[in-house]
Structure formats: C-alpha cells, structure tokens
A and B are shown apart, each in its own frame.
Chain A
C-alpha cells in the first residue's frame, strides 16, 4: 500500500504538461511582419537539453537575411515608427504585456523545453518579470519629456540586439521594451540554442498589431550575430553575453563610434559576515549560485565567508546542497535543471577539472543524474586560492568557489580583485556595515541580505569588464535615446 512507503522527500513526479505548447516543425525568420524562409537556405535544429530530442528546425539567417531585416527596420523607423506618438507606442507595449501575462504558462513551458531551466523558475521568475518589463516601459513611452528634462532627445533609429540563452525571454524583454518605448525599431538575434520563445514572441507581436518591421527576429549562431553587429545600417547596438564576444563587439562599435550597451560576464563575490542571519545567508548563497544552474552572469560564484564561521557555514551549505533536486526541468519540484548545451557542459567540466588539478577540494551533491541530456551536479570547491582558475574565470555553471576572509577590508579587497564588476552580495545584520561594504564593492548591482533579485524599475549592469550601460528603470531607458544636444557616450 502506498502509505506504507511513507512520505519522504523523493516526491512523486509532478510534470508540467507540455500540451499547452503547439510546436511547429519548422520556423522561419520574422522580417517585416512576416515569417519568411531564410535566403541563406540554411537551417539548424534546436533541441531540448534535458532529453537531446529535436524540438524544431529553425532558419539560419545569413548576411542577406540580416540585410533584409535591417532594411525592414529602417523602413518602419522612417516611414512611421519614429513619428508614432508616444501614447500609441505605449499602447502597443501594454498590449504585449497583457498578451504575455495571458500566455505566460505557455511561454514558461516552451522556455523550459528549449533551454533546460526549471519550470518553477521560468514560471515564477522569468515570465512574470518579462510581462512586468513591458508593462513598466509602456508607461515611459509617452513620458519621455519628463524622463529626460532639459534635453532634446531622439531615438537612435535601428537597434541591433543580440541576446543570450540563459534568460531568453527575459533578455528579449530587457532589450525590446526600452527600445520600442523610445521609438527605435529593432532587429533581435536570439541565441542559437534557445530561439523558440523569441519566435513565439514574434507571433504575439503580430497578434497585438505591432506594425511590420518594428521588430524583426533573425535566428542563427555567431555568424548571424556578427552580420548584425557589423551591419552599416544599424544605429545602436546592445549585447548581453560573454565578455569575450562583448569585447569583439566593442572593437567594432568603437571604430564606428556606435552607441553600445554591453552586459557581460561576472565573477561575483557573495560576502558572508559572522553577524549575518546565517540560515537566510545559506539560502542566499544557494539562490546566488544554483539559480538557473548557475547560468547567470551575476551569479554569486565566489563565496567569501568570514573565517570565524567558515566551518559551520560550509557545513550548512553542504547539507542544503544535498537537498537540491536535480533533474527533469519540467518537473515542478526540480531545483536545478539541465545544462544548456553539450558545448557548455564541456566548458564547465573542464573548469571543474582545473579546480581539482590546482588543488581545491571538490564537494558535489550525490544526486542521480538522468542518462540523456546535459547535466552537472551542484558543486562546491573549498580551499580555493585567489589564483585558481575557478576563482577568477566565469564558469557560468553550478559551481561555487569558497574562500575565507578575516576583516571587512580583506573582504572588499578580495571581492574587487577581478576584472569583472557586475554584482556582489553582502550578508550582515549590521546596517552601517551594509552601507560601508556597498560603497566599496566595485559592482553595478549590490544585493545586501538578498541575491539575484530583478525588477524592471531597477537598473542592472556592470562595472569594469562586465560591461557598460544599464538596463531597467530610467537609466536603462537612456540607452535608447541619443542626445540631440550632442553629448554621447
């Protein structure tokens, strides 16, 4: 009898139904308000990283396709969009927000199928934030004169936007919403491993009646992205992704003096003091590194814990790590889903091997990983030295490097000792110490007694090699206007 098995933490499967998603077998490019086949004649398959099954075949945009998309965006910008009143642009954005709320579960399921992230996150974090982002920016579209008082501002024109695979819909929203609010038209290039939700979004854009060419979606890999970045018809570039690719894009944009927003990698320190609310700090560290399998540019991938509590804290962390449920991302109880691609899994594996070789001590949760798909067990390294690769390089995976410090000064020094500067965490119950630390950490987002929180009203972006420009809030809006007065960055 079932009850004699007793109740334990091996919860029975609770899969989210995929019936809500209607997948086509093939997807074209979205150019000028229509789904069209790529003139390149090339296609690629997008697979589920948790099953390795093919989900759909997607067109790969070549240079000629990118050219068409930029031309469509240019025509839309010049013919009507730049003269469309803010109140009308606002109305479109509100409509998009509402449609996304209504179809939220469908998008969440598709996001999880294509990208491998747990449905709990795509359902409870990504999609609600996506709708909120459009809703927030809708309200800016008809208030630009108040957003930028005493300035004459104008949209840039055609914005080329290249987004990553870790938060496909959320990044699309972060890029599209402010661009459209300010009167730009867009060519969006989703990541090659997660193109499907952007294409479903294109359907929504059609449904709400957004005029043809205002947003165009070109799917493909690095070559497609490069074609968009290099295209002479683009007036503004925005990129979220690796620092390596970001630097290539900046090289190109710098020469052409193109306005650019870069949101790149990170190696954030999560600093835990002895006077912290330790049980919540453990949860914060967990949230910091194992949210979205650690595929998060602002992940708290370095734990700096005060030496006086290090042993106890790490013990608590190990116990908590052991309870993480790794597996089918569509199961509502899954905490850690699939690694996004085989290629990325290989990179994580190599970096973890380097950690072991360099002498750090490896701890992994003893979870059963599925046979098919791409998986990596939650991992903690202790005895990590500042010189180890796992302490310096972005792993972009579920791998935490633990180091200790003795004083607040040492914590600041170690936290800042990296070319990155995207985010940082502080855990202490002492208010003045929170502010002392927050002032000194060289990072664009500082989470004190919390981690990995996002909001459309809250500017997000990095210092140093983590990029420049902000996304979210008034500041993020500023990236999509040029100063008709002349000052530009």
Chain B
C-alpha cells in the first residue's frame, strides 16, 4: 500500500450544543423485546473484550479469551465477541488461545497510551505485535503534535503506522477527551482517516474523560463526510467507560441512524470494554427468563 501524502483536511464546523442535543435525542430511543435481543447479540459480536492492565498475566488473558469465544457457558446461542484486546506482550499467548475460533486478536501498540516515543520504536512495536499474531492494531494519535498544530506530522505518523501494520487492521485512538472540543475531534478524525486508518476510536480508557455518545456522533459525522468525499468506509470503535448494555445499544442506534445499517457489523463497528459483556449477558438472561439476575449468575473472568 502506498503511503498517502499529507494534505490539509476539511475543517467542518461543529456546534457543541446542537450535537449533544441530537446525541441525547438518539439516546432516548427505546429498544424493546426482539430489537433488544438483536441489539444485545450484535453488541457482543462487535465487542473487543479488553484487558489492558500492568498486572495482566497469561492466566488472566487465557480466561479472557475463553470468555470471548463463548461468553455464556450455559447458552451456546450467544455469539463470540469480535476480538480480544491486549498489550503486545500478551499477543502471542492470546493468538494461540483463540486460534481457529473466529475471535480476532487486537493489540494496542505504539507506546500506548501516550504514543510519545520515537516513531521507529512505535513502528517496531506494531510490527512485532503483528508478527506475534495480532490481527488488529490500536494506536494512539499523537495528541502532542496535534495540539501543537503539526498536523502533517500527525498524518505521517499514522501513515507510517498503517504501513507497519501490513495486513493487520489499524485503529487510531483519538483520545477525544483530551482534544479540547468537538471541532478538533472532527479534524483529528478526518486526519486519521486520510492517513489510512481502518477504524477511528474514541479513547484509550486510561484517562478519566471516557467516551460519550456525543463524541461518537461527532466522529460518525466525520466518517460520513469522509465516505462521501473519498468513497471509503471507515469503521468506528467506542471505548472507555462503556459498562452497561443500554450504553452499548445506544451506540448502535447512533451509528445506525447516522451512518446507516451498513455500519452495524463488526467490520465497521466495535465496542471496546472489559466489564460490559456481563451486563449484556444479564440483560439477555432477563429476556430469556423474565426475571432479573445478579452478578453471581454470570462469570467473573
């Protein structure tokens, strides 16, 4: 793949109040019965089940992978998640565990979560994770360069990272909560997509400002504009602070109503989360059995 050259990206204005009002309106959608079940299953199929802790061990990752493959041991109709998301050190182990199951391995790479090391070091990090078996790479956008106004550098680093990914899919984390508003989020989205990102992603989950539905809407509108201008459909990943099934289906509503049902697939939509899966399983159990469950009735992996 040829690396794209930097060109200034369109800077479409965004009105914060109206954007948040629209996001809130979409989040008032009421998802019931058959729609709820379909949404919960889709949320699982689009999930990047994640553990990104300094204390991660092969044992912890094994248990996460098993949960990813078969989220509900008692109900084989519950689908597998899309991927497990781990640190590079854990990629080989995770890849071996999920091999042949259809669950992909995603790895954060490139000096996650700050992204502030030498570009060559970051690219080596990416290449090494891919060699170890990562199907997808999640990197962070260089917010330092972005906020300093060096957009060409931001672009070129993403392009270099994309090249380092080879066949692996590249997800670019904007860390939206640190960019200072929706217009920079929109600009960063356009920049990452122009540089070759396969997905743009809201957050690392490592700062207190988690992903919001309004941020997701802002990025979805950028994806829509990019698709219109460039004819390429880029995926969206929400991450950070997504713990409830209701939050999850509102992301689905938001994507569907903004980008169309073509985005309601694991190829174009992901939810990065560690604790969300159990809430989704509890909601499914409620639909199946008609009574509310409790944390002791789902496995803590």
State yes or no: do A and B come from one complex: yes
Residues of the B chain whose Cβ atoms lie less than 8 Å from the Cβ of A323: 257
**Contact A280–B19 (Cβ < 8 Å):** yes
- Secondary structure at the B interface, as helix, strand, loop or mixed, is helix
In the complex, whether A461 has a CB less than 8 A from a CB of chain B is: no
Answer whether A280 and B18 are a contact pair too, CB < 8 Å, given A8-B256, A9-B261: yes
Nearest Cβ on chain B to A98's Cβ, whole angstroms: 25
Q: Nearest Cβ in chain A — how far from B129, in angstroms?
A: 31
Across the interface, which residues of B come within 8 angstroms of A12, CB to CB? 31-36
Cβ-based interface call for A52 (8 A) = no
Contact among A7, A9, A10, A11 for B42, CB-based, below 8 A: A7
A284 neighbours in B (Cβ, 8 Å): 18
A140 to B17 Cα, complex, angstroms: 30
Residues of B within 8 A of A429 (CB): 13, 15
Q: Please, which residue of chain B has its CB at the minimum distance from the CB of A9? A: B256
Within 8 Å of chain A (Cβ to Cβ): is B124? no
A7→B37 CA distance, assembly (Å): 8
A333 an interface residue at 8 Å Cβ cutoff? yes
Number of contacting residues on B, CB 8 A? 33
List, in ascending order, chain A residues with CB within 8 A of B39's CB. Answer: 7
Do A7 and B17 have beta carbons less than 8 Å apart? no
A13, B256: Cα distance in complex, Å: 17
Asked if A3 lies at the interface with its beta carbon under 8 angstroms from chain B, I say yes
Residues of A within 8 A of B14 (CB): 277, 279-280
Instruction: Report chain B residues within 8 Å CB of A150.
Output: none
Tell me whether A8 and B261 are in contact (CB under 8 A). yes
8 Å CB interface, A262-299 against B: 275-280, 283-284
By a CB distance below 8 angstroms, the chain A residues around B35 are 7, 10-12
With A5-B34, A333-B29 as contacts: A280 and B256 at CB distance below 8 Å: no
Contact A277 B12 (CB under 8 A): yes
Contacts of B22 in A (CB 8 A): 280, 283
The answer to the question of B77 belonging to the interface, with a C-beta cut-off of 8 Å to chain A, is yes
Cβ of A463 to closest chain B Cβ, rounded Å: 26
Asked whether B163 is an interface residue with its Cβ less than 8 Å from the other chain, the reply is: no
Verify B264–A332 contact, CB threshold 8 A.
Answer: no
A120 in the interface, Cβ–Cβ < 8 Å?
Answer: yes
Q: How far is the CA of A284 from the CA of B25 in the complex (A)?
A: 13
Distance (whole angstroms) from the CB of A127 to the closest CB of chain B: 15
Measured between beta carbons, the chain B residues less than 8 angstroms from A449 are: 15, 17-18
Interface residues of B in 254-275 (CB under 8 A from A): 256-257, 261, 264
Kindly supply a per-residue 1/0 record for chain B positions 128-155, scoring 1 wherever the CB is within 8 Å of any chain A CB and 0 otherwise: 0000000000000000000000000000
Nearest-neighbour CB distance to chain B for A55, whole angstroms, equals 24
Across the A-B interface, the 7 shortest Cβ-Cβ residue pairs: A3-B41, A280-B18, A14-B30, A332-B30, A7-B38, A12-B35, A277-B15
List 16 A-B residue pairs with CB atoms under 8 Å apart, sorted by A's residue number.
A1-B77, A3-B37, A6-B38, A6-B264, A7-B252, A7-B264, A8-B256, A279-B12, A279-B14, A280-B14, A280-B18, A280-B22, A283-B21, A332-B30, A429-B15, A450-B18
Q: Which residues of B contact A (CB under 8 A)?
A: 12-15, 17-19, 21-22, 28-42, 77, 79, 221, 224, 252, 256-257, 261, 264
